[in-house]
Structure 1
Amino acid sequence: MEDQVEQAVEIALSSNSDPMIKQQAMSFCNQIKESEDGWQMCLSLFMNDRKRSPAVRFFALQVVDDALVKRLNGSGKPLDNTSLLYIKDALLSYIQREYSPQSATDADAVFMQNKLAQTITLFFLLSYPNTWPSFFDDLLTLSSMGGPQLSNGRGLQLFLRILVAQHEEIADTLIIRSSEVARRNTIIKDAIRVRDMAQLASAWMEILVQWTSRDDGYLIVESCLRVIGSWVSWIDISLIVTPQYMSIIFGILGNEALRGAACDTLSEIISKKMKSSDKFDLISLLNLPQTIGQLLIGSDVEFTEKVARLVNVVCLDLVRIMDEDQFASPLKENTENLLQQLFPFAIGFLANEYDDTSSEVFPAISEYLSFLRKEKKRNMPLNPARCSTLTSMLNTIILKVKYDESMDWSNGTDDSENEFLEVRGRLRLFQDAVAAIDENLFMDSISSVVINSLNGEKRDWRDIELGLFELGAYSDGLRNAAALPTKGQGSSKAMEILNDMLLNMTNSNVLSIGHPSINLHYMELVVKNSKFFETHPQIVPQILEIFVSNIGIHSSYLQVQVRAWYLFYRFIKLCKHLMGDIAETALNAIGDLLVIEAEVSPKNDGDSDMSADGTDSGTFDGRLYLFEASGILISVESVPDEKQLHLLKSVLTPIFSDMEASLSRPPEDSQPALQIHHDIMAIGTFARGINDGGKAITDPVREQFLLASRAILVSLETLSGLEIIREASRFAFARMVPILGHQILPEIAVLVSRLLSESSTSELIDFMSFLGQLIHNFKGQSGILEMLDQLLTPLLSRVFYSLSISANGSTDEEIQQSDIKKAYLNFMMGLLNNGMEAVLTSDRNRQIFESVVRSVAHYTSTSPDASIKKMGSSIYTRLQAIMKAM
C-alpha cells in the first residue's frame, strides 16, 4: 500500500503525467487524506527505515497534520487519546533515531525539518501542558542525546525550528485568530511562562555561548537569535535583558557572519511594549550610542539596513516617551539627551546612498517631526539641540532628493526611477513638516539651494533639477497652510523670497542645458506660479516664446511635448489678460500643431462599435488643449473683431474641409469615422476656449459656429450608428450653447431627435444631463418648450423600459440602473425648478404623466440610496400638487 501511495503522489506532482492518470492519482491521495486510518499508514510511511522520496514523506506528514487539526477543531472524526499517544511515541522515536549524533543517515532537508516542526507543534497544541507537561524537557534532552548538554547540533536545529513554529501558532500578532483559539493560546503561553520559560531562556543563552565560536555553529546561533527575537514579545523581558545576556548578544555583533541576526534580535527586544520608564532604563542599559558608533558597517549593505532598523526602533521609542509627557520632567530631559546622542545616526542613515537603507529610518524621522510640531503648538520654543538636529535633517533631505550619478531621467518609465520618485515624495513631506516647525530655517535653506543651483558654475542637469524641484516644493508649501504661515510678516517674507527665486529662474539660462526634465520643471513652475506675472508682465512674451519653441510644445520628446500642450493651455488661460498684442503671434506659432490625424488601432479597425480607447486618444486629448488655448488667444480683449474673425476661420475652415473629405470616404473604413470624431471634439473644445477668452461674442463669430453645428449634424446623420460620434456631437453642442444662445435651438432639436433614436441605455444618463443643461440655459424660451413637448414621451418611454430590465445580479448593471434613476430624477427636478412643468401635462404628454408620478413614488420607496429617496420625495410632493391642480 505504501508503494501505491508513493506512486500516486509522484504521478500527481509530475508535470509529464497523463492528465487522466494524474486525476486518478490525485483522487487516490484525497481518499487517503479523508480515510479514518489514512494517518496511520502515512505516519508509518514517514517513519519507515526505507526513506521514501521527500515529496512522499512531506505528503505523509500533511495527512498526519490533517488528523491533528481535526482533533484541534473538533471536526470530522477526531483522534482519540490512544491514537494521540501512538503519534507521540512515534514522533519521539523518529527524532531519537534520525536526530541523534550517532545517526548514520543524512539529515532531513530543511523543508522536511520545517514540516516536522509544524507537525510536532500541532501535537504540542493538543497536549501541553495537560497530557505532555514535560514537552520542553524532552526536547532539550533530545538536543543532547547522551553527549554534553546542548551539544547535538542536529537535534538543536530541530528544537529551534519547533520553537519558531510554536511562536507562529500561539503568539504571532499578524495572524488573525478566533476568540476561542486566542483563549487556548493564552492558556498555553501562561503555562510556558510559569513552567518552562526560565529553563528555555537559560538554554538559549547556553546555546549562544557554546555555538558562537564553533565553525559549524552559524545556523544554530542564527536560529537561536531568531527564537529569542520572536519569543521576547510575550515573555518576561527580565529573563533576557541581563548584563550577561546582553554582553553575549553584543559580543555576537562583532561576528561578521552573525551580526545581522544579533542586530535583528536587539531590535525585537527593544520593540517590546513596556512602561516608558522601563523602556528608558532598557535603552540606557544597552548603551546603544557607543555600541552603534563602534560597529564597522562598511560596505555590507544588508547589515547597514539592519543597524538602521535598530536605530529607527530606538529613536521611535525615545520620541514616544518624550511625547507622553507634555511638560518638563527628569525622564523627558534624560530621554531627550539620549535621543540627541542617537539621532545623528538616524540622519546618517537617512543620507545613505541606498534608498532601502534610508527608508528604514523614515518612521523615526516622521515621529520626531510630528513631536516637534506638537511642541510648537504647545508654544515650546526650539532649543539649540533641536534646532541643530532640524537643520542637519533638512540639509540631508535636500541632498537626498537629488538624482544621483547612477540614475538618469526617464519621466517615470524606469522602475528604479519610479522607486526614487516614491522616496522623494516621502522626503518632500518631511520638508513640509520642517517648514511648519521652523519657517525661517526652511525658507533660508531652500532659497539658498535654489539660487546656488540656478546661478552656480555647475551645469550638470541634476544640480539644476534639484533647484527647480525645491523651488516647486517651496511654492507648493506657500499654498499649504500647514507648511507655511498664510498671513502676517512671515507670509510676506515667504512671498518675497518666492518672487526673488522665480525672477532668478526666468533670468537664468538653465534651459540652455537642453535637458527634458529641466524643461518640464520650468514650464510646470511657470504655470503653478502664474500670479508672479501679475507684477512682472514684461516677462510674459519671453515665457510664450519658450512655450512655443522646441523646449515646449514643439519638443522632440513626445512625453514632454504632450505635457507642454496642457501647460501651454493653462498658462494662456491663467494669463490671458496679460497677452496684449502678442496673442496673434502665439497663435501663429502653434498653427502647425492644430492638425488632426486620427490613427486607428488594429483592435478598432472595421469595428462598428468602435470607441476612442486604444487609439491615439492620449496624444489627441493633449492636442485638444491647443485648440482650447487657440480659442482663448483669439478671444482676448486685445484682438480686434476683424482679426478675431480671420483667426477663427483659420482654425475652423480646415476642420470643415476635413469633415467633408472624411464623409466622402468608404463607410466601412474606420479611420474617417475616427477622424470626424476628432474634428467634432476639436470644434467643441475650440468653442469652450472662445467662450473663455473674455471678449464679447459678435454675430460673425456666432455665424461661424452655426456653420459648425450644421456640419456636425451632417456627420451625425451619416454616422449616427457610432457611439463615439453621438458622444462627440453632444459634447460639441453643449460647448457651443453659450456662444450661440437661442440661435442654436433649431439645430439642437435635430440633434436631440437623432441622439434619442440611437442612444444606448448607458448613454441615456449623459443624454438626460445634456437636456438638463439645455433646460437651465433656455428656460422660459418657447423653442425649448416645444422641443421638450415633442421629446418627453419617447424619452421617458426609453427610461422606463431601461429600468424595467432586471440587472441579472451584475454589479455594473445595478450601478447603471441606479445612475439612470438619479439622472431621471435630476431631469424631472430640472423641469420643475425651471418652470417647465407644463410639458408634463400638455396634450401630447398627458397620457404619460400618471406613469411619471407612479415611477417617482416607486423609485423613492424602493431605492436603498438615500440621495434618491430624498430627491424623489421632493419631486413626488410637487407632482402631487400638479395633479390636484389639473
Structure 2
Amino acid sequence: MDEQALLGLNPNADAAYRQRALVYFTQLKESQDAWQVCAEALAKGLYSDDHVKFFCFQVLEHHIKFRHAELSADQQQLIRETLMKWLQSQLNAPPEKAFIRNKAAQFFFDVLTVIGLNPRGVDLYLRTLMAIDAEVVDRDILHSSEETRRNTLIKDAMREQCIPSLVESWYQILHTFQQSHFELTCQCLEVVGAYVSWIDLNLIANDRFVNLLLSHMSVEVLREEACDCLFEIVNKGMDPVDKTKLVESLCQVLQTAGFFNVDQEEDVDFLAKFSKLVNGMGQALVASWTRLAKAGDLKSSQEALLALEAKVPLTLRLLAHEDDDISANIVGFCYDYLHVLKQLPLLTDQQKNYIEAIMVAVMKKLTYDDEYNFENEGEDEAMFVEYRKQLKLLLDRLAQVSPELLLDAVRRVFSATMQSWQSAPFMEVEVAIRLLYMMGEALPASQGAHFSGDGAKASALQEMMRMLVTSGVSEYQHTSVTLEFFETVVRYDKFFIVEPQHIPNVLMAFLDHRGLRHDGPKVRSRVAYLLSRYVKTLHKHMNTYIEDILNRIQDLLELSPRAPYSARLHDVLLKHYDDEKENGCLALLTRDDQLFVFETAGVLIVSSECAAERKGALMRSLLGPLMERFELLLGKLLQEQDEERQVALADCLHHAVGFASRTSKAFSNKQTVKQSGCSEVYLECLHTFMPALSCPVQKEALRGAVRTFLHRMIICLEEEVLPFIPAASERMLKDCEAKDLQEFIPLINQISTKFKGQVTSDPCDPSSQGQVFMPLVQAIFQVLARPAEENDQTAALEKQMLRRSYFAFLQTVTSGSSMHEVISNQGVENIEQKTCFTILTKLVELWGGKDGLVGFPDFIYKHIVPACFLAPLKPTFDLSDAQTILTLSECTLTLKMIHLKRGPEFIQYLQQEYLPSLQVSPDIIQELCQVLQQPDSKVLKNYIKAFFQRARQ
C-alpha cells in the first residue's frame, strides 16, 4: 500500500497529506482488485494504526456494497475468509476501539463457525446482528423507496439462506452462556426480540426455545430481558387463530411454571416487566377477537373471548397491585377488555363481576399514599398525577360499558365515607369526593338530566351532592380534601339551581377559613378562581346575599405594594406604606387571585336586581378605594428614588388598573355599563389612571396597564371614551420605543374599526382621528430611523414587528371612509401632510398594481386621489410657503405613482369623473392629464403649482 498516502489518514496530518489520502482512497475504490490489499492487511494485522484499519474496512465496504455483483465466487469466498481471519485474530487480542468493532460488525455475517470459540467473538457477532437490524429492519429509521426495496430483498434472502442457522446460533448462545456470561445472554435475548417480528415464528415459538426462555425467567439477572423477549414474540403480527393458540400455549406454560402467582413475587421490577407481558398477551387476544368477530367466525371468536377472559383474574391482581408501575402497565388491556364488553349484546354475571372488580381496583388505585408530598410536589408526585389520568380514562370506559353499575359503586363508596368522614383517613375522603367529581365527565348527561328537581326522581348524583354539602366534610383538615370539595361544588353548580337552599352554606365555605381564608395559599388561590365561576353560574340566586358577600371580601381587595425581590425590601415596604390592617391581609391572596375576586364582585353588582342607581353606588364603593389608593401610590412613585421600591410601586399601580379592568368583565350586550348606572364610575377611573401615562419612571408597566384599560373601556363605554384618546396618545407616544408603538397601534385600530362613522377627521375635534394619525406616524418613523447596533437582534426584531403593526394600522385606517379627510385637514403649518403623501405613495407602490391588495384600487379612487387634490385646493394651503411646496412635491409623486400603477385607467377617471366633479375646466383637465403622462417627474412637479393656482380661480 502507499505508505505516504496512509500518513494522511491521521487527523493531525497537514492538508497535502490528507488530500493525497483522499485521492488514494478513490483509486482503491475504482480498482478491480485493490480491495484484496486491504483484506490482506486486515487478515495479517499488518497495521496497528486504528485509522488505517478503518480505512481498509471502508474500502471493503465500498466493494461489498457497490461491486458485489462483479466479484467472482472465489473472490467472495476470499472476502469471507479474510474477515474470518481478522475475527480469529481478535479473539485473544486486546479489544479494538469501538468505532473499529462497529465498522467490522457491518460485514461479519458468516461468523457462525467461531461463536463457540470465545465470548468476544459472540459479542461481535451479536453486534453484527443488531447493526443489520438497525440498517435493514428498524421501522423508526426513515428509508428511501430504493433502500426499502433493498432491505426487503435482504430480508428475503436471509429468510431463504440463513435464518434457521441464525436461530440455532441464538439457542446455542443462550444455552451456553446462561450461567457464565449474563451480559451476552441478555444481548442475545435482545437480538431474538428484534428479529422475531419478521422471521418464521415457528423457529422460536417451540417447546425447546420457549422452555429455554422460561428457564431464563427464573434467573434473576435474566428474567426481565426474557420477559421483554416473550413480549416481542407475543406482539408479532400473525393470523388471529394462530395468535390465540400461541398466547394460550405460552400462558399455559407460564401458569404451570408458577408465574401467575404474582401475590408471592417480591421483585417489583420483574413484575413490572411481567405486567407488560400480560398486557401484551391480553391485547393480542382482544385484537384476535376483533378480527374474528368482524369476519363472522363465531366459533373462533368465542374461543378468543374465552381465552382473554381467562386472563382477567390475573389482570385484576396486577391492576390492584400496590406498585403503580405494575398497575399502569396493565391498564391498556383493561381498557380494551371493557371495549369488548361494550360491544356484547348481553353481559353475563361473571362479566358484571369483572366490571365491578375493575371498578374496585380503580377506586383503590386512585387513592393517594401517605408519602405523597402536597407541599413540594416532585417527580414522583408528577408520575402519580399522570397515572391518575390513565385511571380516569379507565373510569370513563367503565361508564360507557355500564353506567348504572359504576354509579351504584361510586354511591356506595361515597355514602359510606361521608357518614364517617371525621374518622376516615384523608386519602379515603379525598378519593370519595374525587369519584363524585369524575362522574361529571364519565356521565356527561348528569348535570342536566340527573338534576331534575323532582324529589321522587332524584338521581344518585343529586343525592350525593346533597350529602356532600350537608355532611360538613368541607371542614376536613387536609388540603386535598378541601380542594376536591370546592372543585366538585363548581363542577356540579347546576345542582344548586335545583336546590338553591344550599347556596348560603356553600358561599360561607368559599368565604371563610375553608376557602379564601384557608391556611394554605394553594387553596386560597384556587378558591378565588372557583368562586368566580360559581358566582357567574348562580348569580341570579344570590341577590339576597350580594351586599353581605361584598362586605366579607372587602379586606381582600386592598391594594398595597409587594416587593418582588427580597424579604428585607418586603418588610421595608410594609412598614413604609401600609398600616397594620393592610399588613394582616397581604399574605392571603396574590395579585392574580385578587383579579378573580374583583371579577366576582363586579358580576355580583352588575347582575343584581337592584336599581341602576344602587348598582352605580355599589360599583363606586368597590372602585373608589382603588382610585384613592392609586392616586396616593402614584404620588409616592414620582418621589421615590430607590429603584426596587419603584418596581414594587409600579407593580401595585399596574394591578390596580388591572383590577378595575377585571370588574368590567361583568358587562355584556344585555347589561351595558350605561344600563347598570356605572358609566360615571369608569369615567372617573379613566381620569384617575391617565396621569400614570406621564410618569417618567416604570413607563412600560404603567402604560401597558392603562392601555389595556382603554381597550376594555372602548368596549364598555363606547363613544364616551373617545375624548380621552388624543391625550392618552400624546402621552403614550412621548419617549416611546418600538415595542411601545407596536402595542399601542392595536388600540388605534380598535377605535378606527369600532367608531368608523363617529370618529371625525377635524384636528380641532378633541376626539378626532386626525389628532392621533400624524403623531403616531411620526413616532413610528422616528423609532424606525434610530440607529441600532449591527448585532442587536432584539432591536432588529422589534423594528420588524413594528413595521408589520404599522402596515396593519394603515390597512385598518384605509378601510374607513375618511382617510382623505384626515390628510386634507392636517394643519398646513406643520410638516404632517408631506409625511402623509409619502405614506400614500408607498401604499400605492405596494398595493396599487394589478396583482396588489384586493379592493385597494377602489380605495385609491375614493380616498387617495381626493386627498391629493382637496388639500392643495383649500384656501389655507399657502402655495408661496416653502414647506407647503415640499408637501406639494410629495403630492405630485403620489399622483405619479398612481399613474405608474393604474395607467390609462387613472387618466380616464380624472378626465371623465373626478376633476369634472370639482368644476375644473376641460382645458385645464386635458393639460394636467397630458403632463401626468410625461415620463419625467420634474415636468409634473414644475407644472403642478400652476395647476392648483389656476384651479382655484
TM-score calculated relative to the size of structure 1: 0.78
What does residue 939 of structure 2 align with? none
- 1:729 equivalent to 2:701? Answer no
Structure 2 residue corresponding to 1:222, chosen from 186, 197, 204: 186
Change (3 A) 1:856 1:485: farther
Measure, in 1, the Cα distance between the counterparts of 2:839 and 2:848. Answer: 14
Q: Secondary structure at the match of 2:103?
A: helix
Amino acid at match of 2:424: R
CA-based RMSD of the aligned residues comes to 4.9
Measure, in 2, the Cα distance between the counterparts of 1:353 and 1:451. Answer: 25
Amino acid at match of 2:593: G
What does residue 402 of structure 1 align with? 367
Q: Is the contact made by 2:689 and 2:706 (CA closer than 8 Å) also made in structure 1?
A: yes
Q: Secondary structure at the match of 1:123?
A: coil
Q: CA deviation at 1:450?
A: 2.6
Change (3 A) 1:157 1:450: same
Q: Structure 2: where are the runs of 5+ without partners?
A: 1-7, 29-34, 570-586, 827-831, 866-908, 915-953
Measure, in 2, the Cα distance between the counterparts of 1:310 and 1:67. Answer: 45
What does residue 873 of structure 1 align with? 854
What does residue 316 of structure 1 align with? 283
Structure 2 residue corresponding to 1:472, chosen from 434, 437, 444: 437
- 1:518 equivalent to 2:481? Answer yes
Q: Secondary structure at the match of 2:854?
A: helix
What does residue 107 of structure 2 align with? 123
Q: CA deviation at 1:881?
A: 5.3
Structure 1 residues 59-68 or 335-344, which shifts more? 59-68
Partner deviation per Cα, 1:843-864 (whole Å, 9 max, x = no partner): 349984895597388369899x
Measure, in 2, the Cα distance between the counterparts of 1:469 and 1:42. Answer: 72
Equivalent residue runs for 1:233-272 within 5 Å: 233-272=197-236
Change (3 A) 1:292 1:792: farther
Partner deviation per Cα, 1:579-610 (whole Å, 9 max, x = no partner): 2232222122222221223445459x99xxxx
Equivalent residue runs for 1:803-822 within 5 Å: 821-822=807-808
What does residue 87 of structure 2 align with? 95
Structure 2 residue corresponding to 1:390, chosen from 355, 360, 377: 355
Amino acid at match of 2:631: E
Structure 2 residue corresponding to 1:335, chosen from 304, 310, 318: 304
Change (3 A) 1:726 1:220: closer
Partner deviation per Cα, 1:490-549 (whole Å, 9 max, x = no partner): 999998222222111101122222211222222222222222222222222212211121
Q: CA deviation at 1:341?
A: 0.9
Equivalent residue runs for 1:611-626 within 5 Å: 619-626=590-597
Q: CA deviation at 1:421?
A: 0.5
Amino acid at match of 2:159: R
Amino acid at match of 2:287: R
Change (3 A) 1:664 1:488: closer
Q: CA deviation at 1:629?
A: 2.0
Structure 2 residue corresponding to 1:577, chosen from 519, 540, 561: 540
- 1:529 equivalent to 2:506? Answer no
Q: Is the contact made by 1:61 and 1:119 (CA closer than 8 Å) also made in structure 2?
A: no
Equivalent residue runs for 1:646-661 within 5 Å: 647-661=618-632
Change (3 A) 1:117 1:561: same
Partner deviation per Cα, 1:128-158 (whole Å, 9 max, x = no partner): xxxxxxx53xx2322234xxxxxx5454344
Partner deviation per Cα, 1:97-131 (whole Å, 9 max, x = no partner): 442xxx5x7x74xxx6865652322234xxxxxxx
What does residue 112 of structure 2 align with? 140
Measure, in 1, the Cα distance between the counterparts of 2:757 and 2:424. Answer: 65
Q: CA deviation at 1:34?
A: 6.7
Measure, in 1, the Cα distance between the counterparts of 2:322 and 2:848. Answer: 62
Equivalent residue runs for 1:638-677 within 5 Å: 638=609, 644=615, 647-665=618-636, 666=639, 668=641, 669=643, 670-671=646-647, 672-677=649-654
Change (3 A) 1:402 1:819: farther
What does residue 294 of structure 1 align with? 258
Change (3 A) 1:165 1:469: same
Change (3 A) 1:122 1:205: closer
Change (3 A) 1:542 1:841: same
Q: Secondary structure at the match of 1:514?
A: coil
Change (3 A) 1:220 1:712: closer
Partner deviation per Cα, 1:751-770 (whole Å, 9 max, x = no partner): 23333455544455553433
Structure 1 residue corresponding to 2:137, chosen from 171, 176, 197: 171
Change (3 A) 1:513 1:180: same
Equivalent residue runs for 1:754-833 within 5 Å: 754-757=731-734, 760-764=737-741, 766-775=743-752, 778=755, 780-781=757-758, 786=765, 787-795=768-776, 821-822=807-808, 824-826=810-812, 828-829=814-815, 831=816
Measure, in 2, the Cα distance between the counterparts of 1:635 and 1:497. Answer: 35
Q: Is the contact made by 2:450 and 2:461 (CA closer than 8 Å) also made in structure 1?
A: no
Q: Secondary structure at the match of 1:294?
A: coil
Partner deviation per Cα, 1:677-726 (whole Å, 9 max, x = no partner): 22222222234447799597579843333222112112212348712222
Structure 2 residue corresponding to 1:367, chosen from 336, 344, 350: 336
Q: CA deviation at 1:340?
A: 0.6
Question: How many residues end up aligned between the 2 structures?
Answer: 807
Change (3 A) 1:242 1:702: closer
Measure, in 2, the Cα distance between the counterparts of 1:735 and 1:622. Answer: 20
What does residue 561 of structure 1 align with? 524
Q: Of the two, which has the highest radius of gyration?
A: 2
Q: Is the contact made by 1:720 and 1:754 (CA closer than 8 Å) also made in structure 2?
A: no
Measure, in 2, the Cα distance between the counterparts of 1:575 and 1:232. Answer: 62
Equivalent residue runs for 1:410-425 within 5 Å: 410=375, 413-425=377-389
What does residue 5 of structure 1 align with? none
Change (3 A) 1:442 1:761: farther
Partner deviation per Cα, 1:164-203 (whole Å, 9 max, x = no partner): 3332332222222334443443333222222222222223
Q: Is the contact made by 1:65 and 1:122 (CA closer than 8 Å) also made in structure 2?
A: no
Measure, in 1, the Cα distance between the counterparts of 2:542 and 2:141. Answer: 64
Partner deviation per Cα, 1:642-668 (whole Å, 9 max, x = no partner): 765554444434333333333333365
Amino acid at match of 2:722: L
Q: Secondary structure at the match of 2:590?
A: helix
Structure 1 residues 232-241 or 255-264, which shifts more? 255-264
Q: CA deviation at 1:442?
A: 2.6
Change (3 A) 1:877 1:505: farther
Structure 1 residues 325-334 or 285-294, which shifts more? 285-294
Q: Secondary structure at the match of 1:554?
A: coil
Equivalent residue runs for 1:15-54 within 5 Å: none
Q: Secondary structure at the match of 2:374?
A: coil
Q: CA deviation at 1:335?
A: 0.8
Q: Is the contact made by 1:114 and 1:161 (CA closer than 8 Å) also made in structure 2?
A: no
Once the two structures are aligned, what percentage of the paired residues are identical? 23
What does residue 412 of structure 2 align with? 448
Q: Is the contact made by 1:143 and 1:159 (CA closer than 8 Å) also made in structure 2?
A: yes
Q: Secondary structure at the match of 2:519?
A: coil
What does residue 552 of structure 2 align with? 589
Change (3 A) 1:762 1:390: farther
Q: CA deviation at 1:745?
A: 2.8
Q: Secondary structure at the match of 1:553?
A: coil
Measure, in 2, the Cα distance between the counterparts of 1:709 and 1:759. Answer: 21
Q: Is the contact made by 2:289 and 2:301 (CA closer than 8 Å) also made in structure 1?
A: yes
Measure, in 2, the Cα distance between the counterparts of 1:757 and 1:344. Answer: 76
Change (3 A) 1:171 1:658: same
Change (3 A) 1:31 1:405: farther
Change (3 A) 1:226 1:541: same
What does residue 711 of structure 1 align with? 688
Q: Secondary structure at the match of 1:664?
A: helix
Structure 2 residue corresponding to 1:753, chosen from 730, 749, 762: 730
Measure, in 2, the Cα distance between the counterparts of 1:166 and 1:193. Answer: 14
TM-score calculated relative to the size of structure 2: 0.73
Amino acid at match of 1:335: A
Q: Is the contact made by 1:454 and 1:508 (CA closer than 8 Å) also made in structure 2?
A: yes
Q: Secondary structure at the match of 1:575?
A: helix
Q: Secondary structure at the match of 2:516?
A: coil
Q: Is the contact made by 2:403 and 2:443 (CA closer than 8 Å) also made in structure 1?
A: no
